[in-house]
Amino acid sequence: MNQNNRFSSEVEELAKGISRTSEFIRLMIYYRCAIMEIQTKLNVLNAELSLQYDRNPFESIESRLKSPESIVEKMVRRGIPITVEDMELEMTDIAGIRVICSFQEDLYSLADLLVEQDDVLLISRKDYIAHPKPNGYRSLHLLLDIPIFLYRGKRHMKVEVQFRTIAMDFWASVDHKLKYKKTLREPEKVAAKLKICADTLAQMDAEMEEIRRTIDAEEDMTE
Ligand code: 0O2
């Protein structure tokens, strides 16, 4: 068995072990509740803003809980002890939400409106749109603290929310697929092509935004 395979099977065993504990199962329920809280807030904003602006600020929302294997793999890689307590303390992306918008401007407005709500605490904000990653990755990442209300009281949970345009999401999903292709013959060439696509899509996002502004301005004049 090579080193990679040994690492994977160790992670698998650890993940299997911890995911059967009642503490882990309970923690995942809490994260699911936190996802529901944020999703509801976003849906309310979407409904209200769509009335005001005559369009939906976002097209879709996806959510996921990180799998036990991915959680444990990251913890082992970072030297974090494999306990449920450390998992909650050290891991920030167990609960994830992705909000897909048509326009960049809407994505920033939605993010600001969400953070302004008085039970939402912004822990960190990474703007990979203003400052894209070197490979071309673009998205706005917010790490939020949100209370959930249980019969034994209130509990604060962390949720990572990623905001992207449809174009950014298209790029990220292709990039994500390629990350798992270990057998690419010319990975550098593919990475360079992907970077060109990222820049082209960013240009397209800017042009679509401009078209939307023109349409909005003409509609305002005719009202
Ligand atoms: P998955 O399967 O989407 O959950 P960390 O999250 O702590 O490992 P960092 O640098 O703090 O590391 O996180 P960062 O940069 O905010 O990115 C975290 C998530 O953003 C990733 O989660 C991806 O979802 C997305 N992301 C970041 N960079 C890229 C990229 O170059 N390409 C793509 N496709 N997605 C990216 P995971 O856990 O990697 O994956």
Distance from Cα 218 to the centre of ligand 1, integer Å: 40
Ligand 1 atom closest to Cα of residue 141: 16
Nearest CA to ligand 1 atom 37: 93
pLDDT score of 1: 59
Ligand 1 atom closest to Cα of residue 172: 34
Nearest CA to ligand 1 atom 1: 66
pLDDT score of 50: 86
CA separation for the pair 218, 75 (Å, rounded)? 53
pLDDT tens by residue, the chain, 223 residues: 577 778 888 899 999 999 999 999 999 999 999 999 999 999 999 999 888 877 788 899 999 999 999 999 999 999 999 999 999 999 999 999 999 999 999 999 999 999 999 999 999 999 999 999 999 999 999 999 999 999 989 999 999 999 999 999 999 999 998 877 777 788 889 899 999 999 999 999 999 999 999 988 887 777 6
Ligand 1, residues 64, 73, 78, 93: which to mutate, most atoms within 8 A of Cβ?
93
Distance from Cα 74 to the centre of ligand 1, integer Å: 12
Residues with CB under 6 A from ligand 1: 66, 93, 96, 126, 133, 135, 137, 141, 172, 175-176
Q: How many residues does the chain have?
A: 223
What separation, in Å, do the N-terminal and C-terminal C-alpha atoms of the chain show?
A: 71
Q: For this structure, is 207 an active site residue?
A: no
Distance from Cα 169 to the centre of ligand 1, integer Å: 13
pLDDT score of 177: 87
pLDDT score of 90: 97
CA separation for the pair 91, 75 (Å, rounded)? 8
Catalytic residue selected from 160, 186, 207, 209? 160
User: Residue 214: how many CB atoms within 10 A of its CB?
Assistant: 10
